[in-house]
Chains A and B, each alone.
Chain A
Amino acid sequence: MQAGALGGMFHSGAASAAESSSSEAAGAAVSGGAGGGAAWGSGSGGGSGSSMAAAAGPAAPPTCLPPPPPLARAPAPRPPSPRSRESRAAISAPGGGGHRTGRGLPPPLLTAFPRPALLSCPAMLSRLVLRAAPAALRALPPPVAVGVMHTTRPLHTTQQSLAPLPPLPEKGGEVRHGLIPEEFFQFLYPKTGVTGPYMLGTGLLLYFLSKEIYVVNHETAAAACILTVIIYGIKKFGGNVAAFADRLNEEKLAAVSALKNESIQALQTAIEEEKKEQWRVEGRTYLFDAKRNNIAMLLETNYRERLLMVYNEVKKRLDYQVAMQTLKRQKEQEHMIQWVEKNVVQSITPQQQKESIAKCILDLKALSKSVHAAV
């Protein structure tokens, strides 16, 4: 019974949910039933389903519609073949509970139609009530339906949405003389024309007065005064009060609109800023190229400077060596010359000195002779 009921739940629930406008509640019920039905249905076979259907047939209440045969889960538009008809007859006959004929006509309609189950097996009462609520309510007399509505409110399948509310009409109902709706005049217009309601009013008033249904007493004077005050007040301040109320509403709207507009404005400004930033980003490549060039030049310059420095240092060191050598040679030369001179001077013995001097004197004499001769 469980399998059959779940199977029926799964199938009819799927079919009805497709066409009805039920909400997640029914959908959850259907999906829960579908999950359960699928699990059960795939687990059991046709035979076990039939045996369970047979076992539960007599036990079900008379208003229970019999569960559809397990073959109903098969794809619906299948022409009834003889073999399937036989099998269906074999299954449906014991499980029919007297509902079907012994010939076991195939029930092709059961596969596709939604099940209008008013009351079903008690195991799945809540879900079926959920689905069957509108039809059931229509069947009840109105006062009972109202009571049922109230008590079953948590079982509603449609979503009670509070938003969006229908907008208020722009103007209130048209009223003539501040009291009588315009519809009354329109109502009387076809029969009595434009003056009809006024005639009616005057006639009624005079009737009440003349028949003393309304007695003119001191309250009439008081009524006249208070009505004068009221009408004067309304005429004088009515427009102002209405404008004040409208202003209050508009201020409310304006505050919120201002908020909205400000945030829109802020976002637009942000968009423009972003666009500017994007434009700036485009220019950044040139900036980076220039910077890269700069850096390359700096590096090159630095490199060259260092190269120069190295060269200079090396040259200095080499110059130093050269200078050292030159100095050394010079010193050696000088030293040599001095030594030679010293030695020469030392080597000049007195004998040599006398000889040289004598030679010089002879030379000089010779010279002087030559000069004397020349002259």
Chain B
Amino acid sequence: MNLSFFDQFSSPSMLGIPLILISMAFPALLLPSPDNRWITNRLSTIQLWFVNFITKQLLTPLNKEGHKWALILTSLMVFLLLINLLGLLPYTFTPTTQLSMSLALAFPLWLATLLTGLRNQPSASLGHLLPEGTPTLLIPALVMIETTSLLIRPFALGVRLTANLTAGHLLIQLISTATMALFPTMPAVSLLTLLILLLLTILEVAVAMIQAYVFVLLLSLYLQENI
């Protein structure tokens, strides 16, 4: 079937049934479920090692209160990683290209960190709005700027994720369209474009992983400030 450039970004539905839920739940099926065994197969071992690695990385800077966030941060990381990487396969739909999903993940989590901070240590959390050592004249302006930057965080988180992935997917589509279009007439240029596409694919794999990591890392940073 002929695809337009934006078909890959439309929420999938079949006979009117929205499939986005399946596409979001599917990555979980790829992970082996925990077993009773002590020595597991290679996939389970690697998964366990990976999850331990992520958890250690994310939670080392946090204090004991922040360790309560271990489950959500780690599972968010694995979720985003898998979704992003699976989206690179052909004919797949990437839920994170939908702004709705990214904002739905970013907003509540950011708000949770903010409210935790305001509740437990209100003066310290408000104190973050003014960096230390600012000249007195600049204080009002700086407070406004910092407040803006604080309030824009969830949008930044969500849009960063969506924009990166959408842009990457769009680029892949465009360049592959160019490759196919050039192939009949100028195969050599087409091969060059294919080479660019290959490099772009490698970049997209990296971006997929990095974006997931950055999302979760920033959340943990916001948490660190506030908890």
What residues make up the interface of A, taking CB atoms closer than 8 Å to B? 162, 165, 168, 172, 215-226, 228-229, 241-242, 244-246, 248-249, 252-253
Contacts and interface: CB of A to CB of B under 8 A. Distances in A.
Interface stretch (B38-46, B70-78, B138-146): B38-46
Contacts of A219: 3, 90-91, 173, 176
A14 to B, nearest CB: 37
B202 A248 contact: no
Interface stretch (B59-67, B193-201, B210-218): B193-201
Given A215-B2, A228-B198, A253-B39, A223 B46 contact: no
Contacts of B43: 245
Interface string B152-194: 0000000000000000000011001101100000000000001
B1 interface: yes
Given A218-B173, A245-B42, 9 more contacts: A165-B37, A215-B2, A222-B173, A226-B201, A228-B201, A248-B46, A248-B49, A249-B45, A253-B39
A168 to B, nearest CB: 6
A241 B43 CA distance: 10
B36 A222 contact: no
- Say whether chain B's binding surface is mostly helix, strand, loop, or mixed: helix
Contacts of B39: 168, 249, 252-253
Contacts of B177: 218
A226 B89 contact: yes
Which label, helix, strand, loop or mixed, suits the secondary structure of the A interface? helix
22 contacts: A168-B39, A168-B41, A218-B3, A218-B173, A218-B180, A219-B176, A220-B90, A220-B176, A222-B90, A222-B172, A222-B176, A223-B90, A225-B194, A226-B90, A228-B201, A242-B42, A244-B46, A245-B46, A248-B46, A248-B49, A249-B45, A252-B38
Interface residues of B, number: 31
A168 B37 contact: yes
Contacts of B207: none
Contacts of B105: none
B168 to A, nearest CB: 11
B115 interface: no
A221 B3 contact: no
B59 to A, nearest CB: 21
Nearest to A172: B41
Given A215-B1, A226-B88, A221 B197 contact: yes
Q: Which 6 A-B pairs have the closest CB atoms?
A: A223-B90, A221-B176, A245-B42, A218-B176, A218-B177, A225-B201
A221 B179 contact: yes
A244 B50 CA distance: 12
B118 interface: no
A248 B45 CA distance: 7
Interface string B66-105: 0000000000000000000000111100000000000000
A229 to B, nearest CB: 5
A72 B96 CA distance: 76
Given A168-B37, A217-B2, A221-B197, A241 B173 contact: no
Contacts of B202: 229
A221 B194 contact: yes
Contacts of B201: 222, 225-226, 228-229
Contacts of B194: 221, 224-225
A252 B40 CA distance: 11
A216 B180 contact: yes
Nearest to B88: A226
